[in-house]
Structure 1
Amino acid sequence: MGQKKKNAVPQEELLKSLMVLVEDDADIIKSGIDINDEFLLSFLIGRKYNLATAYETIQKYVDVRRRKYVKFFSQLSPMTLLYMYDFPRFMGLLKYRDPITGCMVFVFRSPPDSNTTWITIEDITTALALALDELIYVDTAVNNGLILVASGEGFGFSRMRDFTPARIKILIDICYNAYPFNIKQFHLVQCSSLFNATVKICKPFLPRKLRNRIVVHNTIESFHDVVPPNVTPSWAGGTGSAEKDWEVFDYTLERATLDRTEYHEKLAKRLAEGMT
């Protein structure tokens, strides 16, 4: 991964210092997580070469797996989520990159109420965590940051009840606090009154920095000023048909996740053994 800006301390020295901190931390070493130079460098870059903050974020990454949500991660396997990659998709990385910032664009929606029984908030959280694990090794994501897009299309009362304070806290702890990515923008589209009400309920529980980057689009045209309609799935206001939605997605993360199934399952087994 390349160095984005010049630092007072050379990148190589910061990396060595972070490795020393990690190697002296028994909790991290015993976690079974693959701690390599590329992994550590992602946290350094994402935390703007602040050694203390990078180390603290790695500790959070380990803590949510070994303690806070060990039951969740001890059951994690990409193979249990294969259906999440089928169409119609509920989340995914777009092929499109923001031309100004170079940010990768990640879109997601809540599955319609009719799918409540087989796609849960926990499933979505798992899929996000697996995707973020792979983004750690993607230069563009670490250096440039991410743009998130959430669509309210298909959002119903059953989904609204899913967004409890406890679940929001879990989602933030796992997918925001424990990773080094900078969320540059968070766009909300297809905003029905029910979706807007849920956003208002959730907003106080979000980190202040993330709250300040939320943009609510009252018209689809204003969203198209950010992400062109020809590169957006139909359920987020794209101009293509639902049958052609597959053309707008980048499948790199899914392939990488499935390629590392053995690693994820070994890690889950190790966490499960630690619970007994």
Structure 2
Amino acid sequence: MSKIKVGVIGAGGRMGKAIIQVLSLSKKSELSAAVVREGAIYAGFDSGNHAGIKETGILLSSDLQKACEGSDVLIDFSTHTGFESILNAALQNHKPLVIGTTGLTDSDKTLIQSAAKTIPIVFSPNMSVGVNLLFKLTEIAAKVLHEDFDIEVLDIHHRHKKDAPSGTAMYLKEVLLGASKRSEENVIYGRHGMYPERDQKEIAMHTMRAGEVVGEHTVYFFSPEERIEITHRAQDRKTFASGAVKAAEFLHGKSKGLYNMFDVLGI
């Protein structure tokens, strides 16, 4: 049986390299295209060499249309600035799309929902199997504990990350709001200066950007008698890359629809 052909958009970045590494070992799928931004200095390099593995024979290129034509599924880990053109290319070529790009706006998310009426899409703020278990465990804990426990979220990433809080932290917030029946009015982002006594329904979001931390998220539940912490620590970007490849394999053969990693993992 032939392998699923996967085109990687954002192939020159950290996540793109990790996905290429995972695809090189996959029994179900293989790299078919490696797209980088227009004018990238490494355009024309072999994608395997750029990712730190043996040559793949597939060169880094900014030709998005060619990538669409030669791929069964696309994985996008580029930047939010080019997102709309990538989504339009997937639509025009009727290609399934895995979206791992962070920093997307509400307008972008509306476009995703509309596009999913035509093509199959997996959209998730985090592709890691472990992080998606973190989402599920957080939901369960919040439903049980929310009335008597204070809730705080801490997001730690490397010093190069531009968005804060992270997409994963923001999704954790949505999980907490839904499970505890609270609203955005109950959320604060960091603390500075003098505050009144903590409101019982408050959820606080905290961000650290330092060193080369791949990604760490902790949800804290505090009562006067005890503290519960649910933590996920990523030690290698391959955990996200492996999830993205699983998502691409899940989409192959689907006609349309909007899916998340819970669908991919069956949880």
* TM-score over 0.5 (shorter chain): no
Which TM-score applies when normalising by structure 2?
0.24
Higher percent of residues as helix: 1
Higher percent of residues as strand: 2
Which TM-score applies when normalising by structure 1?
0.24
